[in-house]
Amino acid sequence: MTSTRYPIASSGNSSICASSGNLCRRFKSIDHTCNERTAGVTVQRRGRYDIEFNRTFSEYEKGFGDFCGEGDMWLGLDRMQKLTQYGRWTLQISMRNFSDNALLWGEWEDFFIHPAPFYNITFGKMVARSQNLRNTTDNGGGLDYNRGRAFSTHDRDQDEWSGNCAASDGGGGWWFYRCSYMYFNGNRTISDRIDGGKQMSYQDGSGWILKSSSQMKMIRVD
Ligand SMILES: [Ca+2]
């Protein structure tokens, strides 16, 4: 499978249910009539640092930021859950390294967000990736570690660690297990100094790789 739909450079959520017009308006009433098959919906985008990601569970549930432009944003767990009820979706994740600005991306099939209050994330196997993305589970690493996990924030601990991953790891919400090897809602990377899993980072089995930007997108495939 090749991927020509391209991450990071792509524009905002302009196309889901494009025929119904403005997406921002459309999001107020996502329903089963939404049958756009090739649309991509941006789930998370970060790189401008124009908004904070250290937020409450309720904010992660509702979503925040710039849905229709190019600014940083989080779609909202409630919207993800509603959208994934219909059809099959692929999750595309792309990120840029802080150190060399290299772009890495991968796609996982059967992305699904379960209902509140846990909003567990499930997904199938990786179906496409850039050559420079490793997803090994050796020594942890990759997204596989998060499969099936509930969403946690600093004010709602639903992770399986004895402490609170979100509170310890930079304040942003995520589908933590005993924390995470992929974490894009953490602290902004401002230097090469690695600080556990607190910064925007991806652990590929060989070590933490700090990120300067990220984008997660859900793409309807069926
Ligand atoms: Ca915990």
Cα 42 to ligand 1 centre (Å): 28
Measure 104 CA to ligand 1 centroid, in angstroms.
30
Q: What is the pLDDT of residues 8-22, one digit of tens each?
A: 333 344 344 333 333
Q: Which residues pair with 208 in a beta bridge?
A: 203
Each residue of 131-151: pLDDT tens digit? 888 876 655 568 889 999 999
Q: How far is the CA of 161 from the centre of ligand 1 (A)?
A: 4
Mean pLDDT of 55-71: 90
Return d(Cα 173, Cα 68) in angstroms, integer: 22
Closest C-alpha to 65, from 82, 80, 43:
43
- CATH number for the region 18-220 comes to 3.90.215.10
58 burial type by CB count under 10 A (0-12 exposed, 13-18 middle, 19+ buried): exposed
Q: Mean pLDDT throughout 153-165?
A: 97
Q: Looking at residue 206, what is its pLDDT?
A: 79
Every domain of the chain and the residues it spans: 18-220
Residue-wise pLDDT tens digits, 83-102: 898 888 999 999 999 999 99
The CA–CA distances, whole Å, from 8 to 1, 11, 95, 130, 186 equal 19, 8, 8, 14, 18
Gap from CA of 28 to ligand 1 centroid (Å): 33
